[in-house]
């Protein structure tokens, strides 16, 4: 199900320094997400990267389990959380497919800029479904490269062979929404902040 953490370990320092591409859209995603939080929410984020989103949401929930399979990304995330005085995030180095947590543990699970990076998105979405409490929410933001840059389908595998790019999957926003529905969710909110990008709030039913 997984790609390799090696690429992301190498990228971590540069990723931490790169600015958010569309700050207004990012702030809107944070705002919408918080509509689904309460002070006692148990939250999980997979592919949390350098922790920016988890750290920003932490004051609005009881606890966040923030996971990523890159230890270098997590080193940066832990440093940022400590600097921000945030103590209700537990960081865990694990691939989403190996995450060993009881089913029905979380009120909200977030996966941002990650669903196009896993080998088998259906398996990951099904796993997320199992980890959520009934009525819980899966909130994701995904680049759908089949909509805006399908040509990359032929270029990226070469880059991957020489370690320059990570595993990347190509699909449309509609195909992703279908995967989410098939796993047992209903779509509570969907938004296309830009062409080839989809933000989805899905309720576990």
Ligand X SMILES: C[S@@+](CC[C@H](N)C(=O)[O-])C[C@H]1O[C@@H](n2cnc3c(N)ncnc32)[C@H](O)[C@@H]1O
Residues that bind ligand X (CB under 6 A): 2-3, 5, 8, 46-49, 53, 68-70, 73, 95-96, 112-114, 117-118
Q: How far is the CB of 205 from ligand X (least distance, A)?
A: 25
Of residues 83 and 134, the one with the C-beta less far from ligand X = 83
Looking at the chain, how many residues does it have?
205
Nearest Cα residue to 172 out of 150, 201, 139, 194: 150
Q: How far is the CB of 38 from ligand X (least distance, A)?
A: 23
Of residues 6 and 205, the one with the C-beta less far from ligand X = 6
Beta strands per DSSP E along 42-167: 42-46, 63-68, 89-93, 106-112, 132-143
Q: How far is the CB of 110 from ligand X (least distance, A)?
A: 8
Question: Is residue 120 a contact partner of residue 171, using CB atoms and an 8 Å limit?
Answer: no
Q: How far is the CB of 100 from ligand X (least distance, A)?
A: 13
Neighbouring CB atoms inside 10 A of 168's CB total 16
Of residues 8 and 138, the one with the C-beta less far from ligand X = 8
Task: Tell me the C-alpha distance between 169 and 153, whole Å.
Answer: 8
Of residues 21 and 39, the one with the C-beta less far from ligand X = 21
């Amino acid at each position: 199900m997984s790609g390799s953490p090696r690429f992301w370990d190498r990228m971590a320092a540069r990723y931490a320094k790169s600015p958010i591409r569309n700050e207004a859209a990012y702030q809107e995603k944070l705002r919408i997400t918080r509509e689904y939080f309460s002070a006692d929410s148990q939250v999980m984020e997979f592919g949390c990267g350098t922790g920016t989103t988890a750290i920003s949401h932490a004051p609005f929930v009881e606890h966040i389990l923030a996971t990523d399979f890159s230890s270098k990304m997590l080193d940066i995330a832990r440093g940022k959380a400590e600097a921000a005085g945030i103590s209700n995030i537990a960081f865990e180095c694990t691939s989403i497919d190996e995450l060993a947590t009881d089913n029905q543990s979380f009120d909200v699970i977030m996966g941002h800029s990650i669903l196009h990076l896993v080998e088998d998105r259906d398996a990951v979405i099904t796993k997320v479904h199992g980890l959520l409490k009934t009525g819980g929410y899966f909130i994701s933001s995904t680049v759908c490269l089949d909509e805006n840059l399908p040509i990359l389908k032929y270029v990226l595998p070469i880059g991957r062979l020489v370690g320059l790019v990570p595993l990347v999957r190509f699909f449309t926003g509609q195909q992703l929404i279908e995967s989410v529905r098939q796993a047992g969710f209903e779509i509570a909110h969907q938004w296309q902040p830009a062409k080839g990008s989809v933000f989805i709030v899905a309720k576990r039913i």
